[in-house]
Amino acid sequence: MDTILKVEGINVYYGAIHAIKDISFEVNRGEIVTLIGANGAGKTTTLQTISGLLRSRTGSITFQGHNISNVRADKLVAQGLAQVPEGRRVFLQMSVQENLEMGAYTQSPAGVPKDLEMVFELFPRLKERRNQVAGTLSGGEQQMLAMGRALMSHPQLLMLDEPSMGLAPLLVEQIFEIIQNLNKQGSTILLVEQNAQMALSVAHRGYVLETGKIVTTGTGEELIRSPEIKKAYLGG
């Protein structure tokens, strides 16, 4: 297995609060891996630590064979790591196209038109609205824009934080279809999601977080069938 991301023994604190407790997991190239858990379990904190926005006091994070534990967040994008943050965080005053161009800041300008076409092919709705101000888009369209912006940097690993948050059920299905399509086209994806049912239905493997610890791991299928997981996360 070609391991693209290996997280070993990380511990993260917010002041005196021990938020992440000795977590270890890995993502192999070509997989969709999901981290599921209740609100406050430490899912977003884990992603932010991988992407350099937070620091672990111990352990190591290895990305494509390099230890990135102390690499600045902006430098990681050039190394092939992209995160779509919770709440989408698009540039509201800028147009759709300008947002996408911002995502390409690590790329050669000559390749940007081709990359824009690639994103517009994936998200035809963005093409229709390429000159529209991002703040006037619907929640689903902003989510597509945030994902498109991340893809403009040609990531080796795409990290998605709560992509279904606040979206209508029909749009949630659409977003997850897009996630599966991206994966079929070769993207490796680490997905943090409170909608455990949807996340496990598309994931090759999943890790379950509870109060900062990984308590269970398995294939998406195994976890969906597990009586404990059903009871705790799937309303069963």
Flag the least confident range among 17-31, 85-99, 153-167, 176-190: 85-99
pLDDT, residue 108, reads 81
* Residue 159: HSE in the Cβ half-sphere, 13 Å Cα cutoff: 24
* Residue 186: HSE in the Cβ half-sphere, 13 Å Cα cutoff: 4
Flag the least confident range among 3-12, 152-161, 168-177: 168-177
Radius of gyration, CA atoms only, the chain: 17
- Distance between CA 132 and CA 228 in Å, rounded? 46
Cβ proximity of 158 and 146 under 8 Å: no
The interaxial angle of helices 139-151 and 169-184, nearest 10 deg, is 10
pLDDT, residue 85, reads 84
pLDDT, residue 6, reads 97
- Residue-wise pLDDT for 26-81, tens only, equals 999 999 999 999 888 999 999 999 999 999 999 999 999 999 998 988 889 889 99
**What's the mean pLDDT when you consider all of the chain?**
91
User: Would strands 66-67 and 17-28 be described as parallel, antiparallel, or unpaired?
Assistant: unpaired
pLDDT exceeds cutoff 70 at 188: yes
In the DSSP assignment, the letter for residue 39 is: T
Domains and CATH numbers, the chain: 3-89+156-233 (3.40.50.300)
- Residue-wise pLDDT for 81-137, tens only, equals 998 888 778 988 899 999 999 888 778 888 888 999 999 998 999 999 999 999 899
pLDDT, residue 236, reads 58
Taking the model in full, what pTM does it have? 0.90
